[in-house]
Amino acid sequence: MKVAKFGGTSVASAEQIKKVADIVAADKERKIVVVSAPGKRSSADTKVTDLLIRLAEEALSQGDTENALEAVVARYSDIATGLGLGDDIVATIEADLRKRLEFDRNQPESFIDLIKASGEDNNAKLIANYFQSLGLNAVYLNPQDAGLYVSDEPGNAQVLPEAFDHLSKLADTKEIIVFPGFFGYSKEGKLVTFPRGGSDITGSILAAGVEAELYENFTDVDSVFAANPNVVANPVKIKRMTYREMRELSYAGFSVFHDEALIPAFRKRIPVCVKNTNNPASSGTMIISEREYFLNPVIGIAADEGFSTIYVRKYLMNREVGFGRKLLQILEDECLSYEHIPSGIDDTSVILRQNQLTPEMEARIIKRIREELCVDDVYVEKDFAMVMIVGEGMHNTVGVSARATAALARANVNIEMINQGSSEVSLVLGVHQEDADRAVRALYEEFFAGAGETVQ
C-alpha cells in the first residue's frame, strides 16, 4: 500500500484534479489519498484557506458573511463544473459551511479551526465524488470516523498514540480512501487542526498507521533542490536524502515540508518520495532512513531569516555554577524558546526567533539579566539569518568548515556565529540578514560547482 498526499497547487483546479485522478488510477497500490484545500491557480490567486480565514474573521466580528461565503462556494463550484459534476456536491459543501458558521463563536480559536478545516474536508468530498464518477472504487473518509485522535490544542494538534491503532485498520481497505488533511479530532469529539504543513502531517500519520510501503508527497516541483531556486539559478536536484537531512533543511527554511511533518513516518522507517503532480514520470526525491554512500559531503544549503541575539558578558562566567540555568530560566519565565547558545569563557549568546520578542518583553529580559545575574553587559541585536549547510557525509569529511568560511570570506560576508550540531549533520553560520542570499550563493558555488543535475 502507498499513501499519496496532494498539496494545494495539485488540487487547485479541475485541470489539476484530473491529473490527480490519472496518477491514482495508474497505480493500484495507491489506496489512501490525502488532499489539501484548493491552493492558488496563479500567483495572483487566493488560496481557499485564506478565503476561509476571511470568512471566519467576518463571522467573529459580526460582519456580513454572505460575500465571504459565496467566494468560497464559487471556488468549489468552478472546480465541480470543470469536472463535470452535478450541483449536488456544491450544495453539500455550501450546507456544510453554513452549519459550521452556527458553531459557538465564544471559542474563537476552535471556531477558526472548524472553518479553516472545511477547505480540506470539502475538497476531499468533492474529489471522492469525482473519482466515483470515473468508475473508481473510492470513498470519502472523515478523520473522526477513522479514529485520527489528536490533542486539544487549536492550531497545534499532536497525534495521540492510540490513533495509530485505529488507523491500522485502513490497511485492509479494498477501496481508494480520500482523506482530508490538516486536522483530527480530540477524544471529546472536537475538531482540531495541525500546525503549518498540516496535510503533510496527516499523510505521514496515515503512512505510519497502515505501515505503508511508501509515502508519496505530490507537489509542484520535480524534486527537492540543493538550494532555494529563488536564490540560486537552476540548483541541482537531490535524488536521495535522509530524514535527518530533510528535517535540518526544513527547519532552515526549505518549503517542501514543515520540519516536524515527517516524524510519524520516520519513526516507522517508511520511505517518502517527493514527486511532481505535473510530471509524475519524474523519479522525484527519495527520503530514507540511512544512506550508505556520499558522493558529496553536503546535500543542501538553506537560510532562514528573522533571528535576534541576546548578548551577555560577565567576567569569569565560566566559573559561576548555575549561570546558564538562571539565564535560561529568565527566558522560560517569558515563555521563550531558543535556537542556539554559542558561548565563550566570559560571554554567551542566546539566539531566538525575533517574532517572539516584543519591545516590552525585551526590556524586561535585559533588566532581569542585568539585575539578577549581575552581568557586565547585556544587549539585543536583531535581523540575523541562520545559514545552514547540511549533509550526512560531513562528519567523515575533513575541511568542510574551512571551505565554508573561506567561501564566505571571498563573498565578503561576515560570520557572526558558528555552531555545529553534535551529530555533525549540519553546520550553522549566523550572518546579517541582508547578507543571507549572498552567503547561500557563495556556499552553493563552493560545494556544488560542477555537480551536474543531481546529487545524492
Binding site members for ATP: 5-8, 219-220
Q: Residue positions in the annotated binding site for substrate?
A: 49, 120
Contact 369, 327 (CB under 8 A): yes
Enumerate residues 6+ apart whose C-beta is below 8 A from 147: 162, 163, 165, 166, 167, 169
Q: How many CA atoms lie within 13 A of 441 on its CB side?
A: 14
User: For 262, which DSSP code?
Assistant: T
Q: Residue positions in the annotated binding site?
A: 5-8, 49, 120, 219-220
Q: Can you tell me which residue has the cell 479494498?
A: 174
Residue type, 393: G
Q: Reduce the secondary structure of 370-433 to three states and give it as a string.
A: HHHCCCCEEEEEEEEEEEEEECHHHHHCCCHHHHHHHHHHHCCCCCCEEEECCCCCEEEEEEEH
Cell numbers placing 279: 510530471
Contact 390, 302 (CB under 8 A): yes
Q: How far is Cα of residue 280 from the mean position of the Cα atoms in its chain?
A: 22
Q: Whole-angstrom Cα distance, residue 396 to residue 295? A: 12
Q: Whole-angstrom Cα distance, residue 77 to residue 251? A: 37
Helix (H, G, I), strand (E, B) or coil at 4: strand
Burial grade of 117 (CB within 10 A; 0-12, 13-18, 19 or more): buried
Q: Tell me which long-range contacts 412-418 makes (C-beta under 8 A, separation of at least 24).
A: 412/438, 413/438, 413/439, 413/442, 416/309, 416/384, 417/309, 417/340, 417/342, 417/349, 417/351, 417/384, 418/342
User: For 101, which DSSP code?
Assistant: T
| Element housing 75 (H / E) | helix 66-82
Q: Where are the alpha helices (DSSP H) in 106-152?
A: 108-133, 143-146
Using DSSP, how many helices (H) and how many strands (E) does the chain show?
Answer: 14, 18
Residue 349 pairs with which residues in a beta bridge?
Answer: 311
Cell numbers placing 236: 541541482
Cell numbers placing 18: 484530473
Q: What is the DSSP string of 166-177?
A: HHGGGGG-SSEE
